[in-house]
Amino acid sequence: DQQVKQNSPSLSVQEGRISILNCDYTNSMFDYFLWYKKYPAEGPTFLISISSIKDKNEDGRFTVFLNKSAKHLSLHIVPSQPGDSAVYFCAASPGGYQKVTFGTGTKLQVIP
């Protein structure tokens, strides 16, 4: 049962343009949402998070938007840079000490 879905396995964007990565979830108990970035042969690294009481969180070039009614979140990267080329994982959790559930990732390629 895939509770966190990233339906686009890959995305290509030109350098300088906006990258939009999407994530859908099914569990209405999820309260915290996180994005991780992963380079080949490395572990995921935390990028940005948002709690369900907010609909937007921004950190530099990265912004996460949350639409609770649609059970959808998105990560915007503006402007995209070649170093952003990586696999991006969406993750969600009900909070507390409960587990974090990850999506299957979207591979972003930023073309110079």
Judged by the rule CB under 8 A, the positions of this chain that interact with other proteins are 31-32, 34, 36, 41-46, 49, 51, 89, 93-100, 102, 104-105
Q: Which single residue is written with the structure tokens 């966190």?
A: 4
Nearer to other proteins, 75 or 105 (CB): 105
Q: Could you tell me the smallest distance in angstroms from the CB atom of residue 48 to other proteins? A: 10
CA proximity to 3, closest of 91, 70, 107, 67: 91
Nearer to other proteins, 15 or 22 (CB): 22
Burial 41-73 (b: 16+ CB within 10 A, else e): eeebeebbbbebeeeebeeeebbbbbebeebeb
Q: Could you tell me the smallest distance in angstroms from the CB atom of residue 64 to other proteins? A: 14
Phi-psi region of 41 (alpha: psi -120 to 50; beta: other; left: phi over 0): left
Q: Could you tell me the smallest distance in angstroms from the CB atom of residue 17 to other proteins? A: 26
Tokens of 105: 């990732």
Nearer to other proteins, 4 or 110 (CB): 4
Nearer to other proteins, 14 or 104 (CB): 104
Q: Could you tell me the smallest distance in angstroms from the CB atom of residue 112 to other proteins? A: 26
Tokens of 88: 């991006």
